[in-house]
Homo-oligomer: A and B are copies of this chain.
């Protein structure tokens, strides 16, 4: 992170570290470039207004050496001319101060996820651990510690993913129909209940007393997990 205002820099650093990232701070443009030459980074947070050398110049310089490392600009100005200038010289994203901390974290996450994918073996494996079992959405199957694996159908996988994405939130039957079935004709909401029955058979120790797939009377279901 390149940011000259100490208190802001520390706040951001702290929050990023809470998310599990390792952060280094540079307080001006030239120092930023020295850091960049000496070490390997996965993402750069770059303030535009900097002493010694402004953010645009830093960005241009970095891009000469590394055209793919994600660069996220932070700036007080919010003119589109300014943003265009940033994007032109190779910024990947742009956030205006004052910004919502959660938004920053999400955008950082986004950029890293993306650049990881391209570096690693390409396959973005989407799996979820539930008890002793692992749901693998790429293989459409559940790998169980004991017992045979379970093959998931497409609809099962979609509904499962939706509930897990909304972990700990109530998802209404209407929303499920819209999201999972949306593109053609809706079946009756009973159908959803039947899928839940299967999920409970697959994953619950005691299906009649569910821990993961809880009913919310009159609304829908929620997936609960630590």
Contact = CB atoms under 8 A, between A and B. Distances in A.
A219 B2 CA distance: 30
A114 interface: yes
B154 A216 contact: yes
A100 B80 contact: yes
Contact of A169 (B102, B138, B162): B138
B87 A182 contact: no
A35 B64 CA distance: 40
Contacts of A49: none
A181 to B, nearest CB: 9
Central interface residue in A103, A115, A168, by most chain B CB within 10 Å: A103
Given A100-B84, A103-B80, A103-B84, A33 B182 contact: yes
A107 B29 CA distance: 25
A53 B180 CA distance: 13
A104 B162 CA distance: 30
Contacts of A107: 87
A4 interface: no
A37 B154 CA distance: 14
Contact of A178 (B61, B180, B182): B61
Given A68-B117, A99-B80, A100-B80, A219 B57 contact: no
B219 A140 contact: yes
Interface stretch (A120-128, A189-197, A202-210): A120-128
Nearest to A216: B140
Given A33-B183, A154-B219, A183-B34, A60 B162 contact: yes
A180 B63 CA distance: 10
A92 to B, nearest CB: 6
A198 interface: no
Interface of A: 29-30, 33-34, 36-37, 53, 57, 60-61, 63-65, 67-68, 80-81, 83-84, 87-89, 92-93, 99-100, 102-103, 106-107, 110, 114-115, 117-118, 121-124, 126, 138-140, 153-155, 158, 161-162, 165-166, 168-170, 175, 178-180, 182-183, 216-219, 222
5 contacts: A30-B182, A57-B182, A61-B178, A84-B106, A114-B114
